[in-house]
Amino acid sequence: MQNSKQIINYCAVFLLCFLAGCQPQRPAPLQLQLQWQGQPLRCDSNLTLNGQTFQLAQLQLFLSDFSQTKPIALTPGPYSNDQLVLLGIDCQSNDAGQWQIPLATALTPGPIRFTLGVPASLNHQNPLQAQAPLQQTDMHWSWQHGYKFLRLDLTGAANWSLHLGSTGCSGPSVMRAPTTPCQQPNLVQVNLQYSGQQQLVLDLAPLLQDFGANGENSCMSDPQTKSCRQLLPRLGVGSSAVAGLWQLR
């Protein structure tokens, strides 16, 4: 009887080990690192823009539609669904931010593509009823205009902001989704070359070089404002993003 129990126990242990070995390995997430002039950018870092000193107050962004030779799904979680992920940090909170892109499939050397922004099919909804990661209200403008694809807020002698999102969205009400596509979707496709064991880097210095940020020239994605006409093309809206903004290292 004792031998039978031992055999059963051994078989149970063997079966558990076998099943554990058969579980697919989850690929390591792709890390995003925020930088300024090639150095890590933190909440207590100083940024000098045309002689004015700023610090980061908030940097958050949505990345979506990852692909290589075929689409790459993401692993759903508190900051992601299978199509997009919310990354970045709010320096007024006590957490260290969210910097991991939970790819469901491991990357292989070669081209990689993704989009800065929220796909139109998900962009126009009520954040109070949305599923993760689209429930954060301060990353949302309105049902009509949708989400802020990128939110960059700097604090200094005068606060300054750059918020990227769709504009020219028409509908019966700001509390309703647009009935036709937005005139300026402002989705930005990023194309990079992956060689293995790299991090994704977003360096804000090429975006803000020679830009005199002040309390009067924030950019809310209005193509008619001077600051947006300067900064949106650097992000890649209607053109290729400025060199060095996105990198794999």
pLDDT above 70 for 236: yes
- The whole-angstrom separation of Cα 104 and Cα 67 is 11
Band the pLDDT of 16: cuts 50, 70, 90: very low
**Rounded mean pLDDT of 85-114?**
96
Please tell me whether the peptide bond between 133 and the residue prior to it is cis, using omega within 30 degrees of 0.
yes
According to the model, what pLDDT value does residue 25 have? 67
pLDDT above 50 for 15: no
User: Tens digit of pLDDT for each residue in 18-36?
Assistant: 444 555 567 889 999 999 9
Average per-residue pLDDT for the chain? 91
- The whole-angstrom separation of Cα 240 and Cα 246 is 11
- The whole-angstrom separation of Cα 114 and Cα 9 is 49
Closest by CA position to 107, among listed 73, 77, 80, 82: 73
pLDDT above 80 for 234: yes
Instruction: Dump the DSSP string for 98-146.
Output: B-EE-BSS---SEEEEEEES--HHHHSS-TTTPPTTTT-GGGEEETTTE
pLDDT above 60 for 80: yes
pLDDT above 90 for 113: yes
pLDDT above 60 for 225: yes
Strands 160-165 and 188-194 come out as unpaired
User: Tens digit of pLDDT for each residue in 187-222?
Assistant: 999 999 999 999 999 999 999 999 999 989 999 999
| % of the chain with per-residue pLDDT over 70 | 90
Flag the least confident range among 79-88, 151-160, 170-179, 212-221. 170-179
User: Tens digit of pLDDT for each residue in 141-156?
Assistant: 998 999 999 999 999 9
